[in-house]
Amino acid sequence: MEVSSRSPHVRVDGSAGPRPDLLELLGQRFTRVEPRDRALAYVRALLADPARGSAAEIAVRAGADSAWSTQRLLTRAVWDADQLRDSVRAHVVTLLGASGPCLVLRRHETARAGRSAVAVTPTGARGTGRERNTQVAALLCYVSGGVGALIDRELHLPPQWVSDPARCARAGVPAEHVRDRGMADLGQRMLERAAAAEVPVDWVVAGPDFADPRLRQWLCRRRLPFCVELPQLPGPAPEPEAATPRVEAGREEAWHLLGRGLGPVYGRPAPGFRLTLLARRQASGYTSRFLLHAPVTAPGVPAARATAAAGAAAARAVREADERAGLSSHQVRSWVAWYRHTTLAMTAAALRLEGRLETPARKVSRTPRPADSEGGVPDDSELDSKA
């Protein structure tokens, strides 16, 4: 994908518009010409060959004389990756608009060679029983009209690192970040930043890594509708209110209610809201549970279906950033380098998304608002009978 640093300001529909050029916004985050040009070249290199992300390989694609200039951009050059993150977030929200906007929290795990890179820890590989070294991050995606994009990122520091301040110091982890923070804590930090930036949101969607009761209660206090997948329980699946529906041939999943108006063990809903427990049974037979916080007038199962679709759009956005913008294709070792590379990859992913949206018209699939209980939307009993 060829990217010009002076591309015209064009809206998705092809008409002229005031949306600023993302590469110009990137350039404004640098006070000196050399690191600015290196950052622009870095983004173009990620777009050109996202699968090859060593400093030497990126330097070659960027036309640099050596890998040192790339390493300097990620470690020592003076610029603020958080300011660029804010620019990417604002650009993405303007680009996608606010058609049933959702904020989706996702866990992102990347395999790493060796254990010297920041936050890398050995974990058991699923299904093999073997250990592998992984790096885990919490990502925040913005989804609107069925299309998602990355807007924030936080690196998770495992307990093995938190308990070893000397190791953290060698990797450049700031002292204030050497503390035990779970994925839900990182997710709340990103949601707080999105709220401060006035990002529009109808729903917050999160996986089981973010199901901490403290995050759920924070969302309830802010009167934010959410759908959070709960961790799997040991033993047999709980019985629903009615017989568990089978997944019909040709359908991928079936939803059903497990309970409404739940007790305090699940949290305290906001005034005018209620907590609903639902289950989703996939065609493979796998069943997962979801906790829904929504206004009492909102239909539970249709809302859960819609938020699941937003979660799938976010998963596609992360996969796209991985495969086509070099999100995980790096060999950085330090804390600062991880944040800078990830932010530049988010920039590349936003540019690729912008180019894709400005070509053919996309079909918009709107996520229903929490209070959309009229206008032909079926209620839970109707949908259960059809599932």
Q: Is residue 354 part of a domain?
A: yes
Q: Is residue 93 part of a domain?
A: yes
Note whether 268 and 217 are within 8 A (CB).
yes
Which of 34, 62, 67 shows the shortest CA–CA distance to 48?
62
Q: Is residue 13 part of a domain?
A: no
Provide the domain limits for residue 270. 22-369
Q: Is residue 378 part of a domain?
A: no
CATH number, position 214: 3.90.350
What pLDDT is attached to residue 243?
41
The backbone torsions φ and ψ at residue 144, rounded to the nearest 5 degrees and listed phi first, read: -145, 130
Q: Is residue 239 part of a domain?
A: yes
Q: Is residue 128 part of a domain?
A: yes
What total number of domains does the chain contain? 1
Q: Is residue 204 part of a domain?
A: yes
DSSP string, 1-69: ----TT---B-TTSSB--PPPHHHHHHTT-SSHHHHHHHHHHHHHHHH-TT--SHHHHHHHHT-SSHHH
CB-count exposure of residue 74 (10 Å: 0-12, 13-18, 19+): buried
Partners of 257 in beta bridges = 278
pTM: 0.84
Which of 253, 294, 309 shows the shortest CA–CA distance to 104?
309
The gap from C-alpha 64 to its chain's centroid, in whole angstroms, comes to: 32
CB-count exposure of residue 292 (10 Å: 0-12, 13-18, 19+): buried
Q: Is residue 375 part of a domain?
A: no
Tell me which residues of the chain have a pLDDT lower than 70. Answer: 1-20, 50-56, 58-67, 124-129, 233-251, 359-387
What pLDDT is attached to residue 251?
58
d(CA 20, CA 192): 25
What pLDDT is attached to residue 49?
75
What pLDDT is attached to residue 250?
45
Q: What is the pLDDT of residues 35-53, one digit of tens each?
A: 898 899 889 888 887 665 5
